[in-house]
Structure 1
Amino acid sequence: MVLAKACDEQRPVCDTCAALHINCHYNQDKPEWMDGGVRQEKMAEELKREVKEKAHLRRGGRTLHTSGDRVSVAEAVDGAGKLRLPPQLPTDVATSVHNLFKASSNDQDDRTEPCLRRGTDATLACKDAGESGNITFGQSDTVLIMFYLENLFPFLFPFYRPSVIHGGRAWILEMMIKSPVMRQATLCQSSYFFSLAHGMTSRDVVWETVLKQTRDAFGVLGQALQVIDGSEITDHLPGAVRIMASIMQIQRFEIAISSFGNCQSHLNAALALFKQVLDSSGAVDPARLGSSFNTIMSRLKPSWSYPACQSQYLHVPSAEQAAFRFSSALLIFDDIIASTVLPEEPRLYEYHCSLLGDIDSTGPPINLEAVVGCQNWALLQISDISVLDAWKQQCKRAGSLDVMELVHRATAIKGSLETQFARLESDPVFIPKEGSSLLDVFTADYGQHPKPPVSQNLLVTRVWAHAARLYLFIVVSGWQPASIDVRYHVARIIELLSREISPSALLRTMVWPFCVAGCLAEPAQEAQFRGMVDGLQPPSVFGTIRKALEIMEGVWGNRDAGDAANRDLATCFGSQGDLVLLV
């Protein structure tokens, strides 16, 4: 009997057979050769031979292509050919993970048999050397998965509260079940934070568990990237979305433990995948990219419906649709923050207007506020300022900076920012009344962690808006912490973060504006910033905030340096070497 790999029933070719570069023997009817005897054994031998003959195709360079971008698995490794894992990890770990990539394209492929699919034959529920078609979880995995869903995910993304009548967070569990990459990325995070929650003091014990999950996550990611190689992305849209979501999960985990060495590689890979997916809709006009996003959403596995009454159906997004919308928001957010560090134009800048702007009555395709708590317009303004900063830096390097042109461009941004800011400041901040219906009770008790009320989103957006004003001031006027305008916005950010926004743990969602204000703080304000960080315990859970404080301490220590007049945000954020994503 042929040992076959679990089939995902993608058409016209399943992901398994596509990865092996062999013919897919899908048929709803039982093939003639599947007789349980000699003919079936003969076909099995032929398939084994085909797998071996195509091995050279699987071992070659596997590169994802998209317009203007080129990303490969190799891009996740350093010059020595080893993955750059967290610096706290033993050096031999990088070699082990690198070997997983080699194994995934060599020995493992030759052992794996293609899927032999027959419509309803349960006896062909496929198996391979390491995994069964029906995924089962051990008790430890079950505990870690539920810990992630009920505790860790609400902590990491406190503003993401999808309606329970639209499926809530159920898509995350479905993605874990369907995607080995997503499952390993999730277990990696959950193992680490679960150990911290239990107060484990032995660093070696904690890291031993984390290392295993990290090895698995990187290894499975390497295998998953092979699946979409050598074929059109449209043939593997759901798989590409799962990979993109998994990359974002791995990115968030490494950032959470203050490991930024892989930030650029992860960001590059996710950006290339996103562009490849979005461009597959066929639209070439940037103004129509919003409709392209909706087209991709409709091409993903469709939402399912259930009857609410005899004449109406309620629609729930599929796991892939929810994952694509959520991951796209995170990616655009990360891209904007990265642009302020590099400094350069955001890689997705041409997509911003159609994806984040209110281009019609239905609202933008992507709502950043629902994921990161900040309204779209504030992050769009920061994006525009980063484009202005990149232009300024390019002109300075070329010796052709026109200050009048700089002021002209900045004035347009300032006008838009002030209009939006005035509207935001005039919006009343109120706590919504508690609901009394049964459905309100369900939606109110959504996890055990304290949830930010709707009013907190307005306060969070104000923090980002004040930071945007500081950013624009620096780009136009240079580094002047003693300016009255700068002092005002720094003081407002301190007041919002320390007195108005609650709970204090929400600070971890506003690390970038926190760091912008901190770098410009006066000596008398340093203690306030240190106090906000010290109040968040345990330190290992708030790694990005402590990284921000580390950057701020460096700026404070060089406050009187001779080059202070030439300082800008990019030089502050770039002082750590690697791309430091304060997200």
Structure 2
Amino acid sequence: MDMTLPHGSRHNSTIRSSNGCWTCRLRRKKCDENRPVCDVCAALHITCHYGQDKPEWMDGGARQEEMAERLKHEVKENAHLRREVREVRAIHVPGELLGATTSESLNSEIEPCPEASAIAIRLQRGADCKIVSKEIHDNASFGRSCTVLITFYLENLLPFLFPFYCPSPLEGGRSWILEMMISSPVVRQATLCQSSYFFSLAQGTANHHAVWETVLSQTRDAFGVLRKSLQVIDGSSITEHLHGAVRIMASVMQMQRFEITVLCFDNCQAHLNAGLALFKQLLESPGPVESAGPSSNFNSVVNRLGPPTWISPAQDVKVQSAEQAAFRFSSALLIFDDIVASTVLQEKPRLYEYQHCLLSDSNGTGPLLNLETVVGCQNWVLLQISEISALDAWKKQCKTAGNLDVIDLVRRATAIKEFLETHLTRLEAESSAIAQNGNSLLDAFNVHYYQHSKTSVCQSRLTTRVWAHAALIYLIIVVSGWQPASVEVRYHVGRVIDILTHAASPKALLRTMVWPFCVAGCLAEPAQEADLREMVLALQPPSVFGTVRKALEIMENVWRNRDTSDSASRDLAMCFRSQGELVLLV
């Protein structure tokens, strides 16, 4: 589409609409005058400028030329959105696919596919609530019940599942999640089945069996939509469907969190495989220029998922796009899950080669991914747990081959231990006071957000300390074996229990520290068992604290077999695997 402006006096040539939007006037196109977003701009997914007063940039000169070029760039950049809408309209989901089982859907490494909707694009481009509500109402699959459940998810379930995730409203907040749920059938179905279950529990529904059967049905529907999405572009290059691939990855991580929250670990490995496969394909997909490493690849993917949304083009106010935010959030969860899973599998994390580039602050501008803002634990602890896991895998391989160098083992372990102890000492010495950012207008608007963000920083420091103490216990086991009576082990176990008992608040925060809770609990003394049991029993209702209950099961099994003949050869992986499945304590 030619958007080149004529030169000179032709800037003021006759326009097709005297009351149309300024975008159509600038482009010299006929405007249908729908407000706040005309159909012409909505179809092209470009910014629709409305207003009684002529914009300052409509000056017949350089600024007008600049805006024309900007709109031309928007048309080009959003071509993928128009293509995805056409593809979604062509999708027909056969009824039999909605009955697809979990194993059929995700037991193999998957290919991504696009899901999109014009509703979200219009929301992104400035459509008001009435327009969006009308389009939602017109969508047969998006009724009043969906609206209630989505609101319940955003206001109640999301803060429960991710208590540390509180992005600034000035950065778009959690709006990307709403946009993804509206625009993507894959994401929407994955979140609705979670929300309906927890909504029923919150209402105190008497027939829990019926509720659970409904959840199972909705979960099958979610996998059916996911499966269909994957099949649509089977065999295509992921670069052609970048946005859809990110939506699929976000949906996989959603399903992972939901299932383990309600004490279902059967599909942990399948979900993890699927997420890892998508992530690797995304980072290894060819970009416009030859990449210089994982960090460059990551930035390339983020850039290609743009451009950011222009909230106010005249003032150049932008926030990251929904797919950019979803990619960052899902990548953080995936790396976290991969590290925790490696401690169970006794293998090097499968994203090990990417972790340092993405989690380390190598250039002084901050890491590309900040896990603290998503899971509450600072990057440095999780990086060291990854190193311990890699060390454990190396030790296991050397022992199998009969060539273990104990001196080398101790040397590598010492470096990890010194790093952890140094950073832990520094963290424990830090003041609990949180620096105030001043009296901004945002503080006046949203006192709740400001207070929550301060509380989250305090809580994440406590959470990080618990993870660090557990990491040191893990390291001792890898180097010296199962030593419950060790003075060092006793110290770190005691510190974990002390923080969880007296400092961590609210008690539900234990959900974010299940792995370190279980690590410390497995090596606890008999006198400490009652305190650990009480922490779990205090979390009600039990049906929404699945990972904590699973951790207690693992600990109880270890306690029962404390004095058996194989206790000397025990390790953490053996404890976690005692349940016969990949137990992902996240």
Same-fold call, TM cutoff 0.5:
yes
**Is 1:439 aligned to 2:465, yes or no?**
no
The Cα offsets for residues 494-513 of structure 1, whole Å up to 9 and x where unpaired, read as: 11111111111110011000
Q: Secondary structure at the match of 1:217?
A: helix
Contact 1:551 1:572 in 2 (8 A): yes
Of 248, 257, 260 in structure 1, the residue corresponding to residue 253 of structure 2 is 248
Letter aligned with residue 554 of structure 2: I
Paired residues, number: 483
Match of 2:394 among 386, 391, 395: 391
CA contact (8 A) 1:251 1:266 kept: yes
Confirm or deny that 1:137 pairs with 2:145: no
1:545 aligns with 2:565: no
Q: Is the 8 A contact 2:312 2:318 kept in 1?
A: no
SS in 1 for 2:494: helix
Counterparts of 2:298 and 2:385 in 1: how far apart (Å)? 23
Structure 2: which 5+ runs fail to align? Answer: 1-42, 46-77, 111-117, 119-135
* Partner in structure 2 of residue 180 of structure 1: 185
Which stretch shows the higher mean deviation, 299-308 or 147-156?
299-308
Q: CA deviation at 1:315?
A: 1.5
Check the 8 A contact 1:155/1:449 in 2, yes or no: no
> Are residues 1:564 and 2:567 paired?
yes
Counterpart of 2:307 (choices 302, 308, 311) is 302
Q: 1: CA distance between counterparts of 2:412 and 2:289?
A: 27
What residue identity is the alignment partner of 2:246?
Answer: V
The equivalent residue for 2:125 is none
Q: Which amino acid in structure 2 is aligned with residue 223 of structure 1?
A: K
Q: Check 1:434–1:150 CA distance in 2 against 1; reply closer, same or farther (3 A cut).
A: farther
Say if 1:378 and 1:464, in contact at 8 Å, map to a contact too. yes
Whether the 8 Å CA contact 1:158–1:451 is kept in 2: the answer is no
2:164 is the counterpart of 1:166? no
Partner of 1:279: 284
**Corresponding residue SS for 1:334:** helix
Uncovered stretches (5+) of structure 1, i.e. residues with no partner: 1-5, 23-50, 60-73, 85-100, 102-114, 116-130
Residues 250-276 of structure 1 deviation map (CA, whole Å, 9 limit, x = unaligned): 111111111111110110011010010
Bigger shift: residues 7-16 or 259-268: 7-16
Residue 203, structure 1, aligned to residue 208, structure 2: yes
- Displacement of 1:12 in angstroms is 10
Q: What is the DSSP-based 3-state SS (H/G/I as helix, E as strand, rest coil) of the residue aligned with 1:363?
A: coil
Q: Distance in 2 between matches of 1:359 and 1:448?
A: 31
Secondary structure of the 1:510 match is helix
Query: Does 2:463 correspond to 1:460?
Result: yes
**Equivalent-residue separation in structure 2 for 1:567 and 1:253 (angstroms):** 31
d(CA) in 2 for partners of 1:354, 1:177: 33
Could you report, residue by residue, the CA deviation over 1:453-508 in whole angstroms, capped at 9, with x for unpaired residues? 32111111101100110000000011011111001001100111111111111100
Kept in 2: contact 1:251–1:263 (CA 8 A): yes
> Quick one: distance in 1 between partners of 2:101 and 2:414?
40
User: Is contact 2:339–2:385 with CA below 8 Å preserved after alignment?
Assistant: yes
For each residue in 1:143-195, what CA deviation from the matched residue of structure 2 results, as whole angstroms up to 9, or x when unmatched? 11100000000111000000001111110010001111110110111011111
Q: Secondary structure at the match of 1:305?
A: strand
Residue aligned with 1:315, SS: strand
Shift of 1:378: 0.4
Does 1:264 pair with 2:269?
Answer: yes
- Partner in structure 2 of residue 28 of structure 1: none
Question: Matched residues in 2 for 1:304 and 1:82: separation?
Answer: 33
Provide the C-alpha distance between the structure 2 equivalents of 1:447 and 1:397, rounded to a whole number of angstroms. Answer: 54
User: How far apart are the structure 1 equivalents of 2:578 and 2:549?
Assistant: 15
What is the distance in 2 between the residues matched to 1:531 and 1:450?
29
Q: 1:94-113 to 2 correspondence within 5 Å?
A: none
Instruction: Indicate conservation of the 8 Å contact 2:262/2:546, yes or no.
Output: yes
Q: TM-score, normalised by structure 2?
A: 0.76
**Contact 2:287 2:300 (C-alpha < 8 Å) held by counterparts:** no
- 2:245 counterpart of 1:220: no
State the alpha-carbon separation in 2 of the partners of residues 422 and 218 from structure 1: 46
Higher helix proportion, which one?
2
Tell me if the contact between 1:459 and 1:496 (Cα under 8 Å) persists in the aligned partners: yes
Q: Tell me if the contact between 1:432 and 1:454 (Cα under 8 Å) persists in the aligned partners.
A: no
Residue 345 of structure 1 corresponds to which residue in structure 2?
Answer: 348
2:417 paired with 1:414: yes
| 1:57-72 aligned within 5 A | none
1:331 to 317, 330, 334: 334
Cα shift readout 1:331-359 (whole Å, capped 9, x = no counterpart):
00000000000010000000011100111
Note the C-alpha offset of 1:411: 1.4
Aligned pair partner of 1:400 in 393, 400, 403: 403
Q: State percent identity of aligned pairs.
A: 65
Does the 8 Å CA contact 1:148/1:190 hold for their aligned counterparts? yes
- Over 3 Å counting, the alpha-carbon distance change for 1:204 and 1:447 in structure 2 is farther
Q: C-alpha separation between the residues in 1 aligned to 2:198 and 2:509?
A: 17
Q: 1:420 to 1:12 in 2, by over 3 A?
A: closer
Partner of 1:489: 492
Shift of 1:434: 9.8
- Given that 1:242 and 1:323 are in contact with CA atoms closer than 8 Å, whether structure 2 keeps it comes out as yes
Distance 1:364 1:438 in 2: 28
Residues 428-457 of structure 1: per-residue CA shift (max 9 Å, x gap)? 222566975441144432499998432111
Q: CA RMSD in A?
A: 3.3
Mapped partners of 2:253, 2:381: distance in 1? 22
Partner residue, 1:503: 506
**Hey, what's the Cα distance between the residues in 1 that align with 2:290 and 2:475?**
30
Shift of 1:208: 3.1
Measure the CA separation in 2 of the matches of 1:75 and 1:516.
33
Query: 1:215 Cα deviation (Å)?
Result: 1.7
Separation (CA, whole Å) in 2 of partners of 1:206 and 1:377: 41
Whether 2:320 is the aligned partner of 1:317: answer: yes
Of the three residues 525, 530, 540, the one matched with 2:528 is: 525
The 1:136/1:448 distance shift into structure 2, 3 A limit, reads: farther
Is the counterpart of residue 355 in structure 1 residue 358 in structure 2? yes
Q: 2:106·2:274 contact (CA, 8 Å) conserved in 1?
A: no
Residues 175, 242 of structure 1: 8 Å contact kept = yes
What amino acid sits opposite 2:236 in the alignment? S
Q: Given that residues 287 and 354 in structure 1 are in contact (C-alpha distance below 8 angstroms), is that contact kept between their aligned partners in structure 2? A: no
**1:151–1:448 contact (8 Å) kept in structure 2:** no
How many Å apart are 1:211 and its aligned residue?
Answer: 2.2
Range 204-213 or range 217-226, more displaced: 204-213
How many angstroms apart in 2 are the aligned matches of 1:571 and 1:291? 38
Contact 2:44–2:82 (8 Å) recurs in 1: no
Aligned counterparts of 1:451 and 1:519: Cα–Cα separation in 2: 33
Deviations 1:491-537 (CA, angstroms, capped at 9, x unpaired): 10011111111111110011000000000100000001001111111
Inter-partner Cα distance in structure 2 for 1:491 and 1:374:
20
* In structure 2, distance between residues paired with 1:405 and 1:156: 41
**CA 1:13–1:274 in structure 2 vs 1: closer, same or farther (change >3 Å)?**
same
1:382 to 378, 385, 388: 385
Residue in 2 that maps onto 1:32: none
Q: Partners of 2:476 and 2:340 in 1: how far apart?
A: 17
Contact 1:479 1:566 in 2 (8 A): yes
* TM-score of the aligned structures, taking structure 1 as reference length: 0.77
Residue 584 of structure 2 aligns with an amino acid whose one-letter code is: L
Deviation per residue, 1:45-97 (Å, 9 max, x gap): xxxxxx9xxx9xxx9xxxxxxxxxxxxxx9952xxx6989xxxxxxxxxxxxx
Counterpart residue type for residue 227 of structure 1: V
Structure 1 contact 274–328 (Cα < 8 Å) conserved: yes
Once the two structures are TM-superposed, the CA of residue 399 in structure 1 deviates from its matched residue by 2.3
